[in-house]
Amino acid sequence: MNETTAARKFADKSRAQAHNTFDKMSSAAEEATGAAQETYSSAVQGAREFNLKVIEIARANANAAFDYAQQLMSVKSVPEFVDVANTHTRRQMEAMPEQTRELSELAQKVATDTAGPFASGFAKAANKVV
């Protein structure tokens, strides 16, 4: 085998390796892009759900405040005022932990649903390069 043939074989082998590496990198980039799109989509959906829950809670609290104001308008005595105020305060204090729990659970769900596709998609992409 002469030097020209050896150089040609080396060049062909190098070209094949470069082509193979390029294919792996392209595939990994496509995988990573898909993971990023899925993550973004999950994040948008999660933010939408979370915002709807916040609006639902705000609406419930606003309705409770209007009901309270309406009840205060019909109060005829100090003991009745104290009773209406105590009842309203108790209801709001009972609602607060439940509302906080709902928001916390939803935030955890959104974080999990968003991080899952991100982690698995990028792990797949990284494995394609190796």
Q: Any idea where the domains of the chain sit in the sequence?
A: 12-129
Report the C-alpha gap between 106 and 116 in whole angstroms: 15
Report the C-alpha gap between 28 and 10 in whole angstroms: 27
Tens-binned pLDDT, residue by residue, of the chain (130 aa): 577 887 788 888 888 888 888 877 887 778 778 777 887 888 888 899 999 999 999 999 999 999 999 999 999 999 999 999 999 999 999 999 999 999 999 999 988 888 876 666 666 656 655 5
- Alpha carbons within 13 angstroms on the beta-carbon side of residue 17 total 6
Report the C-alpha gap between 6 and 43 in whole angstroms: 55
Return the pLDDT at 77.
Answer: 95
